Amino acid sequence: MKTVSSLKTKILGTGDDSKMIIIRIIAGLIFISEGILKYKQAQWMGPGRFTEIGFSHPFFWAYFTGGIEILCGTLVLTGLITRLASIPLLIVMITAFFETKIPIIETSGIWAFLHEYTTDFALTLLLVFLLIHGGGKWSADRKYFR
């Protein structure tokens, strides 16, 4: 029984670092806004973009991804199940890396790729940091899962 409690604490618990809120605000707001854009700018960010990339069923994938970004971005922003919410967002980032960033190397070269990937790289590292450290002092995780 202690093992289950210990595992729960490792997954849902968090430290008392008050600076984690800055990382949560950055990552959460970026994902929430990107998720909303998939609905509001359908041709540019939603199904139109997913069609351009070559996804089959672009409407499903665009709106599914947008929903994941809004939901998990909100969880990250509030610091509720922060570690678990970071995982689907990391999957979104990894998929974007392979589907949209790697092809840039072939078409435009390494320098264009490095330029285009800077924000995604930083966001991915923020998610890894949240996955490792949790939501921090001012999070719902800290309040509910001490």
Q: What's the CA gap between 118 and 123, in Å, rounded? A: 9
- On whether the CB atoms of residues 69 and 27 are closer than 8 A, the answer is no
**Which of the 8 DSSP states describes residue 136?**
-
Q: What's the CA gap between 25 and 22, in Å, rounded? A: 5
Q: What's the CA gap between 80 and 101, in Å, rounded? A: 30
Q: What is the pLDDT of residue 1?
A: 56
Q: What's the CA gap between 135 and 142, in Å, rounded? A: 7
Q: Where are the domains of the chain?
A: 2-144
Residue 93 has pLDDT above 70, yes or no: yes
Q: Is 80 left (phi over 0), alpha (psi -120 to 50) or beta?
A: beta
| Per-residue pLDDT tens digits for 31-77 | 999 999 999 999 899 999 999 999 999 999 999 999 999 999 999 99
